[in-house]
Amino acid sequence: MFSAKGCKDSPEHTFSHPFVQAVGMFLGELSCLAVFHMLLCHDRRRPEPKMNTGQSFNPLLFLPPALCDMTATSIMYVALNMTSASSFQMLRGAVIIFTGLLSVAFLGRRLVASQWTGIFVTILGLVMVGLADFISGNKDDSHKLSDVVTGDLLIIMAQVIAAVQMVLEEKFVYKHDVHPLRAVGTEGFFGFFILSLLLIPFFYIPVGSFSNNPRHVLEDALDAFCQIGHNPMIVLALLGNTVSIAFFNFAGISVTKEISATTRMVLDSLRTVVIWVVSLALGWEQFHGLQVLGFIVLLVGAALYNGLHRPLLAKIPCCANMVEEEEGNPVERARLLDEGRVQEET
């Protein structure tokens, strides 16, 4: 929503630089690697070091999830310029669907009935949020209807890639016991340098009206820096994004390590409430009842998938046996972990 003049006194225009923003995100992740080594040096000075650095590993094993992260993040920043912030967050709930399905296919998970129900309920919620965007797109002058629909579809597509990233991280972190700060920092290292290099060809790739920068190229990094120079508030926003990403990814990969990839995505979706309320309070978007209903349905789907209904059903005698069968699912997770350790020792 910020606007400023560009290079060579070009007219004032909005700050629409998704790939530069993605580079800032990876810079936040990269900073986790510096923090890891600082903590490691401090710990080694103690008489009895207590920090568990994890096992040694080949850093290139983090390249695939880093590429997934880079692609998904860039797509989502592009989509954010086309749709509202609240819809952006709500539609990210689709990642639960794809993470669950990929966990079955590649991690050997077995989804119980309530988890399958949660997936279908989540799909219903996504349809409701999409319909709310379609209806509001006809009344909203800030975004064209075609842009809103394209942005929503891009967000859904990005969640498929994000789900692949979560499953790769889960499989890798469980097997190699990598410290969360080191894992996030390693991904940030690859993402930061690869995407920074890609900004050079992006500067020369014309994309027409798809881009909002003056030259209508895929990414105009020079224009971004010129706008930053003309409006210091953009620097504050970018730094805030970088710092919050550093903490968020560290917390996220810690949850992935201790619980599961899908639980991380459920917790991620809780940000939506804050963003939606702030957007309404500041007048950035209008209230839509269907969007609220869709979000409630999304929360129900997430709750079913994550088993939040089990404590309530356990109090009902006729449902107690069903709950006991469903709670056998964590045993499957323990079995997978034990198999991973046995294979590694072998």
Q: How long is the chain?
A: 346
Signed CA dihedral, 108, 114, 120, 126: sign only:
negative
The reported pLDDT for the residue numbered 173 is: 62
Signed CA dihedral, 167, 168, 169, 172: sign only:
positive
Where helices occur in 231-288 by DSSP H, the ranges are 232-258, 261-268, 271-281
The reported pLDDT for the residue numbered 86 is: 74
The reported pLDDT for the residue numbered 129 is: 83
- Beta bridge partner(s), residue 4: 13
Q: Assign 275 a pLDDT band (cuts: 50, 70, 90).
A: confident
Q: 53-61 — which CB contacts under 8 Å span 24+ positions?
A: 53/179, 53/182, 54/176, 54/177, 54/178, 54/179, 54/182, 55/176, 55/177, 55/178, 57/176, 57/178, 59/186, 59/189, 61/172, 61/176
The reported pLDDT for the residue numbered 61 is: 85
The reported pLDDT for the residue numbered 333 is: 40
More confident residue, 210 or 252: 210
Number of Cβ within a 10 Å radius of residue 137? 20
Q: Assign 140 a pLDDT band (cuts: 50, 70, 90).
A: low
The reported pLDDT for the residue numbered 281 is: 86
For residues 179 and 33, is the Cβ–Cβ distance under 8 A?
Answer: no
In three-state secondary structure terms, 310 is helix
Residue 321: CA atoms inside 13 Å, Cβ hemisphere, count? 1
Highest mean pLDDT among 90-99, 173-182, 302-311: 90-99
Of 28-32, 61-65, 71-75, 251-255, minimum mean pLDDT range: 251-255
Q: Assign 158 a pLDDT band (cuts: 50, 70, 90).
A: very high
The reported pLDDT for the residue numbered 344 is: 35
Q: Residue 235 corresponds to which amino acid? A: V
